[in-house]
Amino acid sequence: MKFAIRDDDTCYFTTPEDLKNAYGDLWGKIPISLAVIPFVKARKAPYIPKEYWNTGKEYPIGENDELVSFLKREIKKGNVSIMLHGYNHEYYPQPEFVAGKNLKEKIIKGKRYLEELFEVEIRTFVPPSNTMSKEAIKAVKECSLNLLYYPTPKNRPFGIKKWIIFLEDLMFKYRERQCSRIEFIKNCYRFWIKRDRNIFMPVKPFIFEINGIKEFNCVSLTAKTPTTNVLKNIEIAYRYNGNFCLALHYHSLKNDIFREKFYLIMNYVQKLPNIKFVHVDNFFD
């Protein structure tokens, strides 16, 4: 099984110590795929210092010389890879790639900026807040980027392919359910309609492709995510010898309870035989 860590929100305000302290002894041992914000918009957010919350300015990550130098060294060592995490992570009040404008131009500009800054090829797009409009998905396709998303038919371009993949994914979830048929139907309603993330929902551990975009569905770890839900999905991915991507935020690891959850999961994974720790981009090779 291939296992990757997706870490969101690295930006101008991130320090090398933030990242190294977040991962502790794991830093340098397990590759970390950073979803980077090229031109972060200062607002109220856990990764932005309070004194910047009301400035309303954009801060290019390239102006943080210490962070850029650190990441370039870590990229060369193979410890870190870079993905595109939106443009400025603004809210209108909906997320940037739901309510924002000129999305294709933003992807092109953000991608080129990070590629020139870090001297790497940007291959994967990570949508801010994991939500996208129809225009956003079209923009990612036109920019030939891989996508970390889930196989919902919502906001997809017209076509039967999206429904086939959605139904295949739904049948996989049904086969891997750990409850009765009736309870599974209730769980689907609670998970997708009520957005209750305490519900266990099996995640298919394989790449899927819609309209020429290769995509993969991550398993998110938040302060509210039951650890057992993550472990169950790791067990499924392992049994199928598939891919597994754990999505989190480095700034969440400052919280002791969250950190305990993360290390419990990582200790479990490290004990499994035949695990290959990779960067997210390797999923799409």
pLDDT, tens digit (0-9, with 9 covering 90-100), for 196-225: 888 999 999 999 999 889 999 999 999 889
Instruction: Quote the CA–CA distance of 197 and 191 in Å, as a whole number.
Output: 6
Q: What is the maximum span of the chain, computed from C-alpha positions, in angstroms?
A: 55
Domain ranges, ordered by start, for the chain: 2-171+203-284
CB 2 within 8 A of CB 24: no
Phi and psi at 17, nearest 5°, equal -65, -35
pLDDT of residue 3: 98
Q: Which pTM does this prediction carry? A: 0.96
Instruction: Quote the CA–CA distance of 103 and 86 in Å, as a whole number.
Output: 9
Instruction: Quote the CA–CA distance of 198 and 113 in Å, as a whole number.
Output: 38
pLDDT of residue 268: 98
CB 270 within 8 A of CB 25: no
Please write the tens of the pLDDT for every residue from 95-137.
Answer: 999 999 999 999 999 999 999 999 999 999 999 999 999 999 9
> pLDDT at residue 278 above 90?
yes
For 2-171+203-284, CATH number out of 3.40.50.300, 3.20.20.370, 3.30.70.1450, 3.40.630.30 equals 3.20.20.370
Instruction: Quote the CA–CA distance of 173 and 167 in Å, as a whole number.
Output: 10
Instruction: Quote the CA–CA distance of 107 and 125 in Å, as a whole number.
Output: 9
SS3 70: helix
| Rounded mean pLDDT, 132-155 | 94
User: Considering the chain, what percentage of its residues have pLDDT values greater than 70?
Assistant: 100
Please write the tens of the pLDDT for every residue from 159-194.
Answer: 899 999 999 999 999 999 999 999 999 999 999 888
> pLDDT at residue 157 above 90?
no
Instruction: Quote the CA–CA distance of 195 and 189 in Å, as a whole number.
Output: 8
Helices (H), 189-253: 227-239
Question: Which tokens sit at 228?
Answer: 């057992």
Please write the tens of the pLDDT for every residue from 6-52.
Answer: 999 999 999 999 999 999 999 999 999 999 999 999 999 999 999 99
